[in-house]
């Protein structure tokens, strides 16, 4: 046993003694013991092979990438839209019928707000506008044509900020979409992206003609593997920020040293798209699909650790399912957008009915590190591997908070009702916050809520 492992075991024992022997105390807001004892470093848990064997065989990855490519560009496929096609696109109008919801001032919205949403959505005139398009900026897809938030009762746990229920998803710039409807005023478009649909602002998309579609479909694609790097035009002007999961066509122009030339769609004044060459740091780009090697997964995931949680892509951040979708997209693995659908996106191993220890044992026994999603209602986690100290399964996930009681003593340090907020992408066990004196049991223990795991790609 190495010295570092011995020290960590001692830390576990000390923490356990303190929790059991002392009066309940609270860690600093946003912190739990898992985050102190588990290094926030993906490579510590992923069982690296001794040879150069990839996580997915090249032949299998090529097949996955072909499927991804077809789905990615599917919104541009010719298709007639009918009234029946819109039945599932207006689900928000049905969901909020006769419901009390709250606005940005945390007060109930007007009784007529849904009437206004129905007027703007104009479902009876669907499809009012149909055209292939592409996003030209990180684009929020909204459940209803409004940028204003809608919350469930903000006085109840998990129903206020940041859970704007009209925020459906976010897609990167350069994503193929099909506009299938528009509001009567023309200030919102209803768009279908590869894995999600929603309302967007007109200036967030640009129409594409056949030459642009063919240029993007036929080009070699490159994948952005790091958030935040700036893509600049040939004149040095800002074009957009790179984002993990973004795919762009490679540009044939020579690039300055240390950069890669890519084509970014720009919206002209007439609303049509044109592809403009720009340059981005070569350390933030790889040819797509990125080879599915262990070290490349580790590099991408380490770059996302600590990033703030973003429900439905709010503030251009990620929630649990967006995190997994964006990462796996780099390697050519197409996933649905929400956690419920992701739980069915591979070979499912049922864990319901097992106790906590049995669930953890089964995950370590059968789970494939980096290619296994652990599922519970409303949340998904990416399995990294076993903790080399304790042997317990270790997860990477975008986590808002843990379910806690609300004794009066907590309120001074914690302002979010019923949640101990972590609010970022973290590495934890399946029992984060077990030491919190107010953690709800059993529902506050993530392992108790685990129902299955999904192996995305079998070897």
Find out whether 305 and 42 touch, Cβ atoms under 8 Å. yes
User: Last residue of a domain, which of 177, 207, 237?
Assistant: 207
How confident is the model at residue 23, as a pLDDT? 46
Residue 75 within any structural domain of the chain: no
Structural contact between residues 420 and 158, judged by C-beta atoms closer than 8 angstroms: no
Model pLDDT, residue 86: 73
Q: Which domain holds residue 130?
A: 81-207
- Which residues, listed in sequence order, are joined to residue 452 by a DSSP beta bridge? 350, 375
Cis upstream peptide for 289 (omega within 30°): yes
Q: 154, 189, 207 — which closes off a domain?
A: 207
Is residue 59 one of the residues assigned to a domain?
Answer: no
Regarding whether 139 and 98 lie in a shared domain, the answer is: yes
65: in domain: no
> Is residue 297 domain-shared with residue 426, that is, in the same domain?
yes
| Residue 301 sits in the same domain as residue 417 | yes
Q: Are 289 and 331 in contact (CB under 8 A)?
A: yes
Q: What's the CA gap between 106 and 150, in Å, rounded?
A: 9
pLDDT in single tens digits along all 459 residues of the chain = 555 555 555 555 454 444 444 445 778 889 999 999 999 999 999 998 877 889 999 999 999 999 999 999 999 998 877 777 777 899 999 999 989 999 999 999 998 999 999 999 999 999 999 999 999 999 999 999 999 999 999 999 889 999 999 999 999 999 999 999 999 999 999 999 999 999 999 999 999 999 999 999 999 999 999 999 999 999 999 999 999 999 999 999 999 999 999 999 999 999 999 999 999 999 999 999 999 999 999 999 999 999 999 999 999 999 999 999 999 999 999 999 999 999 999 999 999 999 999 999 999 999 999 999 999 999 999 999 999 999 999 999 999 999 998 755 555 566 678 999 999 999 999 999 999 998 999 999 999 999 999 999 986
Task: Record the tokens describing residue 379, joined without a space.
Answer: 């949340």
Check whether residue 363 and residue 434 sit in a common domain: yes
Distance CA 453, CA 459 (A): 16
| Cα–Cα dist 285/222, whole Å | 6
Give residues with Cβ within 8 angstroms of 293, minimum separation 6: 52, 54, 55
Total-model pTM: 0.92
Q: Same domain for 42 and 127?
A: no
Given a contact cutoff of 8 angstroms between Cβ atoms, the answer to whether 324 and 341 are in contact is: no
Nearest 10 degrees: CA dihedral of 412, 413, 419, 423? 140
Domain count, the chain: 3
Burial of 99 (0-12, 13-18, 19+ CB in 10 A): exposed
Residue 416's contacts (CB-CB under 8 Å, 6 or more residues apart) are 157, 160, 401
Residues 280 and 344 reside in one and the same domain: no
Q: Quote the DSSP letter at residue 344.
A: T
Where among 179, 207, 235 does a domain terminate?
A: 207
- Element holding 360 (H helix, E strand): helix 356-366
Asked if residue 66 is part of any domain, the answer here is: no
Residues 203 and 122 in one domain: yes
């Amino acid at each position: 046993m190495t010295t570092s492992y011995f020290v960590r075991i001692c830390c576990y024992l000390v923490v356990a003694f303190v929790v059991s022997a002392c009066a309940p105390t609270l860690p600093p807001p946003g912190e739990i013991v898992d985050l102190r004892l588990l290094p926030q470093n993906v490579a510590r848990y992923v069982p690296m092979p001794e040879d150069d064997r990839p996580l997915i065989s090249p032949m299998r990855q090529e097949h996955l990438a072909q499927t991804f490519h077809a789905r990615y560009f599917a919104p541009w496929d010719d298709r007639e839209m009918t009234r029946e096609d819109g039945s599932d696109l207006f689900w928000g109008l049905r969901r909020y019928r006769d419901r009390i919801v709250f606005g940005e001032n945390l007060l109930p919205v007007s009784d007529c707000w849904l009437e206004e949403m129905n007027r703007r959505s104009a479902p009876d005139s669907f499809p009012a506008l149909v055209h292939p398009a592409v996003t030209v900026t990180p684009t929020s897809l909204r459940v209803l044509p409004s940028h204003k938030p809608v919350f469930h009762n903000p006085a109840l746990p998990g129903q206020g900020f940041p859970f704007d229920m009209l925020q459906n998803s976010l897609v990167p710039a350069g994503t193929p979409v099909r506009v299938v409807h528009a509001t009567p005023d023309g200030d919102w478009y209803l768009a279908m992206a590869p894995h999600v649909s929603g309302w967007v602002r007109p200036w967030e998309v640009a129409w594409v003609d056949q030459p642009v579609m063919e240029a993007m479909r036929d080009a070699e694609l490159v994948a952005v593997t790091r958030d935040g790097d700036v893509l600049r035009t040939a004149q040095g002007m800002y074009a957009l920020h790179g984002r993990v999961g973004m795919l762009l066509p490679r540009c044939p122009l020579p690039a300055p040293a240390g950069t890669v030339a890519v084509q970014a769609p720009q919206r002209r004044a007439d609303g049509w798209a044109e592809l403009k060459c720009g340059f981005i740091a070569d350390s933030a780009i790889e040819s797509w699909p990125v080879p599915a090697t262990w070290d490349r997964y580790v590099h991408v995931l380490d770059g996302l650790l600590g990033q703030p949680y973003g429900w439905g892509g709010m503030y251009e951040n990620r929630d649990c399912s967006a995190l997994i979708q964006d990462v796996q997209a780099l390697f050519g693995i197409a996933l649905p957008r929400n956690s419920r659908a992701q739980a069915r996106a591979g070979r499912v191993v049922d864990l319901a009915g097992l106790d906590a220890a049995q669930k953890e044992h089964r995950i370590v026994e059968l789970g494939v590190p980096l290619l296994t999603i652990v599922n519970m209602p409303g949340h998904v986690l990416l399995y990294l591997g076993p903790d080399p100290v304790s042997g317990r399964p270790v997860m990477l996930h975008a986590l808002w908070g843990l379910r806690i009681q609300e004794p009066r003593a907590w309120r001074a340090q914690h302002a979010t009702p019923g949640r101990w907020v972590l609010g970022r992408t973290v590495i934890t066990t399946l029992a984060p916050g077990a030491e919190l004196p107010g953690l709800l049991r059993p529902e506050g223990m993530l392992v108790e809520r685990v129902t299955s795991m999904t192996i995305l790609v079998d070897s």
